[in-house]
Amino acid sequence: MLMKRSLGEQTFDIGNSILMILISLMTLYPLLYVLFSSLSDPQYVVQNRGLLLYPQGLNFDAYRMVFRNPNILTGFGNTLFYVTVGTGINILLTALGAYALSRKNVMLTNPVMFLIVFTMFFEGGLIPLYLLMRNLDLLDTRLAVILPSAVSAFNLIIMRTAFQSVPESLEESARIDGAGDWTILFRIVLPLSMPVVAVMILFYGVSHWNSWFFATIFLQTRDYFPLQVILREILISNDTNAMSVGVGTSDQMAIGETIKYATIIIATVPILFLYPFLQKYFVKGVMIGAIKE
Amino acid sequence: MRSYLIRLQKDLLKNKAIYFMLLPVLAYYLIFQYGPMYGLQIAFKDFIPAKGFLGSPWVGFKHFEDFFGSVYFGRILKNTLLLSLYSLVFFFPTGIIFALLLNEIKGRIFRKAVQTISYMPHFISMVVIVGMMFDFLARDGLVNNIIAMFGLEPVSFMRSPGWFRTTYISSEIWQNIGWSSIVYLAAISSINPSLYEAARMDGASRWKQMWHVTLPGIMPTVTIMFILFIGKFMTVGFEKIILMYNPVIYETADVIQTFVYRKGILEANYSYSAAVGLFNAAISFTLLIGANMTAKRLGETKLW
């Protein structure tokens, strides 16, 4: 039965829809602007500052210069390394911990769980961490970017919750067939929890892809810098001159702008491509994480 | 005690595979989480790198007194509290309101599209977001061009102390309004539909249903998120501020955490900045416990 809607409700619906469209446009336009500008002729970008509805004077020079830049390329390579190795370690440790802590009749799991949860609310802070890294001789090594964030308590709890919901009867029958904990984890629990593993890959992967702070304080050698640190130089310290050599000075500023936009696109598109496929999973992940216990 | 140890010994043997799995995780937490907590002792010492954590001499509360007596103390405490308070008042509710309004959209495809778009900026890196802010908010950038269309004077958003809090919080909302609504949308979807039916029978309008059914239905989630928010109250996104600020806007942008970064990492004042950091962490922790206790007393959902 469809109820007749009052005038007030109809006005609300229309107003609400308009608001939602506005929010979507405000979210989307800056991103589209960056995309359009990166593909435009630098001169048009300068002329049209801020208002561009499609790429004007289609032009790939900015991308060509960005991809010729050795800093961007090594940064990109380093980021790929940090993302794959870092996420690999993250997933392995989180899965091991989550499995161990999801067992009911193991004596030390509760105190360990308390130790882990406590770190979500209190931490030693930046300076002691920095000194610890120095004492461990980890400064200026690739591991310095990966190890301090090897496990996240939040993600561990999400995964533990998922593991707990695997039916116990499955494990019991496997145990009767002679399977040990390693087999149960890797052959039964983990395959049944693939949606959560996908969320974990997304969360950890994105945070490695986007992280810059640890790299800034722990690394000195440029060859180890991830893409975001290079991006910071280009976007915030405004250092595009090195890339636009061979261009006349008057054009240099203009092309500098499009170089900025092109680097933003290169650093952002891989993530944005990945996430719609994982969307249905991460909504679940966020839910489990927030409504724990 | 003895019997406990005997039981533990048996348990360690019986579940040795599980304890073996736990080992690397435990090692991580002990080294990289509890290691720095142990290192916090330098806040009460004059840390001399050559002498290490243990060898450096104790100085009691000297660094805390220095900090409380310094000219920066008032300024950064005020900046931290104001920025956190503004986040709480202006940013925290946006996720809830957005979820409530989005929930009222009936078209499935439209709703899905809005959701997908609104989550997107959450995945963009802080560096890129701040880079875009510098670009869009520049004197000749997009926002100033729009302002100029209305015949108003251009504003140096990123270089004036008076605009820092506004730009910081608006960009937070822009980036996270969709993402922070996910939890609330999930909570809304688990409300029993018969409650809405009953409300409609009683002649409740959509506004009334939102107010009397949806909002109470998500209150437990709101409480949890609120407590978590309070726990992070004092550690407002310092990474973002470090990217955004420059000496021109220290006056409003410098918060405790960025001060720790500057004094500790850039100027190598280890003990002093560890003390400042500990002061910050202690307040955070107290706030969190206070919020949780208040929630408990009010009979609301609590974190533990």
Question: Which pLDDT value is given to residue A143?
Answer: 96
With CA atoms as reference, the chain B residue closest to A136 would be B31
Judge: domain B45-298, CATH 1.10.15.40: no
Q: What is the mean pLDDT of residues A28-46?
A: 85
Q: Which residue has the higher pLDDT, A188 or A3?
A: A188
- Residues B214 and B100 sit within 8 Å (Cβ to Cβ): yes
A31 chain-B contacts, CB cut-off 8 A = 120-121
Lowest mean pLDDT among A38-42, A176-180, B241-245, B296-300: B296-300
Question: Which pLDDT value is given to residue A92?
Answer: 97
Q: Which residue has the higher pLDDT, A24 or A56?
A: A24
Q: Mind listing the pLDDT tens digit of every residue in chain B (304 residues)?
A: 788 899 989 999 889 999 999 999 999 999 999 999 999 999 999 998 888 888 899 999 999 999 999 999 999 999 999 999 999 999 999 999 999 999 999 899 999 999 989 989 999 999 999 999 998 898 888 888 888 888 888 898 998 999 999 999 999 999 999 999 988 998 898 889 999 999 988 888 888 888 899 999 999 889 988 988 888 888 878 999 999 988 899 999 999 999 999 999 999 999 999 999 999 999 999 999 998 898 888 876 777 7
Looking at the partner chain, which of B26, B28, B120 has a beta carbon nearest the beta carbon of A27? B120
Instruction: Give every CB contact of residue B180 below 8 A, 6+ residues apart in sequence.
Output: B94, B95, B98, B225
Looking at the partner chain, which of B31, B36, B207 has a beta carbon nearest the beta carbon of A125? B36
B105 chain-A contacts, CB cut-off 8 A = 16-17, 20
pLDDT of residue A292 exceeding 50, the answer is: no
Helices (H) and strands (E) in chain B, counts: 18, 0
For residue A166, the distance in angstroms to the closest alpha carbon of chain B comes to 17
Looking at the partner chain, which of A116, A121, A264 has a beta carbon nearest the beta carbon of B131? A264
Task: Check CB contact under 8 Å for B183 and A287.
Answer: yes
DSSP state, B213? I
- Please indicate if any CB of chain B lies within 8 Å of the CB of A268: yes
Residue tagged 């969190």 (tokens): B288
- Please indicate if any CB of chain B lies within 8 Å of the CB of A49: yes
Question: Which pLDDT value is given to residue A12?
Answer: 87
Question: Which pLDDT value is given to residue A113?
Answer: 94
pLDDT of residue A59 exceeding 90, the answer is: no
- Domain spans in chain B, listed from the N-terminal domain onward: 1-42, 45-298
- Please indicate if any CB of chain B lies within 8 Å of the CB of A273: no
Question: Which pLDDT value is given to residue A243?
Answer: 64
User: According to the 3-state scheme, what is the secondary structure of chain A?
Assistant: CCCCCCHHHHHHHHHHHHHHHHHHHHHHHHHHHHHHHHCCCHHHHHHCCCCCCCCCCCCCHHHHHHHHCHHHHHHHHHHHHHHHHHHHHHHHHHHHHHHHHHCCCCCCHHHHHHHHHHCCCCCCCHHHHHHHHHHCCCCCCCHHHHHHHCCCHHHHHHHHHHHHCCCHHHHHHHHHCCCCHHHHHHHHHHHHCHHHHHHHHHHHHHHHHHCCHHHHHHCCCHHHCCHHHHHHHHHCCCCCCCCCCCCCHHHHHHHHHHHHHHHHHHHHHHHHHHHHHHHHHHHHHHHHHHCCC
- Tens of pLDDT, residue by residue over A81-106, are 999 999 999 999 999 999 999 998 88
Q: What is the mean pLDDT of residues A9-29?
A: 92
Which residue out of A127, A225, A261 would a mutagenesis test of the B interface target, given it has the greatest number of B Cβ atoms within 10 Å? A127
Instruction: Give every CB contact of residue A3 below 8 A, 6+ residues apart in sequence.
Output: B200
Looking at the partner chain, which of B19, B185, B260 has a beta carbon nearest the beta carbon of A127? B260
User: CB count, 10 Å around CB of B75?
Assistant: 16
Question: Could you give all domains of chain A from N- to C-terminal order, each with its CATH number?
Answer: 29-161+193-290 (1.10.3720.10)
Task: Check CB contact under 8 Å for A264 and B39.
Answer: no
User: How many CA atoms lie within 13 Å of A225's alpha carbon, on the beta-carbon side?
Assistant: 19
Task: Check CB contact under 8 Å for B22 and A28.
Answer: no
Rounded CA-CA distance B40/B53 in Å is: 9
Task: Check CB contact under 8 Å for A121 and B231.
Answer: yes
Question: Which pLDDT value is given to residue A199?
Answer: 86
- Please indicate if any CB of chain B lies within 8 Å of the CB of A267: yes
Question: Which pLDDT value is given to residue B38?
Answer: 95
Q: What is the mean pLDDT of residues A187-205?
A: 90
pLDDT of residue A277 exceeding 90, the answer is: no
With CA atoms as reference, the chain A residue closest to B268 would be A127
Rounded CA-CA distance A216/B265 in Å is: 10
pLDDT of residue A293 exceeding 50, the answer is: no
Rounded CA-CA distance A39/B91 in Å is: 34
A24 chain-B contacts, CB cut-off 8 A = 113-114, 117-118
pLDDT of residue A3 exceeding 60, the answer is: no
pLDDT range class, residue A270, cuts 50, 70, 90: confident
